[in-house]
Amino acid sequence: MLCQTCYEEIKPEDAMAKTPHCKPCHSAAMRARTARLKEEGICVTCGQVPALDGMVRCKKCTWRSYASKRLGSTKKWEQLRDLWLAQDKKCALTGRPVDIGNHLSVDHILPVSKYPELSGDIDNIQIVHYHVNTAKWDLPHSEFVQLCREVVEHNDS
């Protein structure tokens, strides 16, 4: 089979499912598409709606990405968004405002590194400020809160 872009023979290892292009041509076309959509301010994932200011995805695709990465399924994006709304768009630990593209981070209350069976459980998720999640790392909620208390006590004396 010939690639419809470069007209070279497609090697079996370069064959792309559902596309008549070799892997290098397909990759180049996807990079060009992404660059064009970014420039036009269109979501690079769905290609249909405007991306959020300063971002490459629309709200729905951003939530789907968060759900995929943190819960293992894009199907849980609405639950994730609803959790953020239930938290009044604020960090569950500090009360600071968080928004998509503005310090929002999805945290596992009990870390997946220690509790892998809870990786896809929405009840083990909270929306937090990015800096809080970075500091919390893989600590369970209770241990992180205790650590924060120790930091405050040490610095208040």
Kindly report, residue by residue over 43-92, the tens digit of the pLDDT: 999 998 899 988 999 999 999 999 999 999 999 999 999 999 999 999 99
Does 45 fall in a domain?
no
pLDDT in tens, 108-139: 999 999 999 999 999 999 999 999 999 999 99
Evaluate if residue 12 carries a pLDDT over 80.
no
Q: Residues 95, 31: one domain?
A: no
Does 20 fall in a domain?
yes
Does 148 fall in a domain?
yes
Where does residue 38 rank: exposed (0-12), middle (13-18), buried (19+ CB within 10 A)? middle
Range of the structural domain that residue 78 is part of:
73-156
Does 139 fall in a domain?
yes
Q: Residue 106: enclosing H or E segment and its boundaries?
A: strand 104-108
Q: Residues 25, 77: one domain?
A: no
102: left (phi over 0), alpha (psi -120 to 50) or beta: beta
Q: Residues 79, 151: one domain?
A: yes
Q: Residues 25, 92: one domain?
A: no
Task: List 102's β-bridge partners, or say none.
Answer: 99
- Give pTM, 2 decimals: 0.80
**Residues ≥6 apart with Cβ < 8 Å to 131:** 103
CA distance 91 to 99: 9
Query: What confidence score (pLDDT) does residue 56 get?
Result: 92
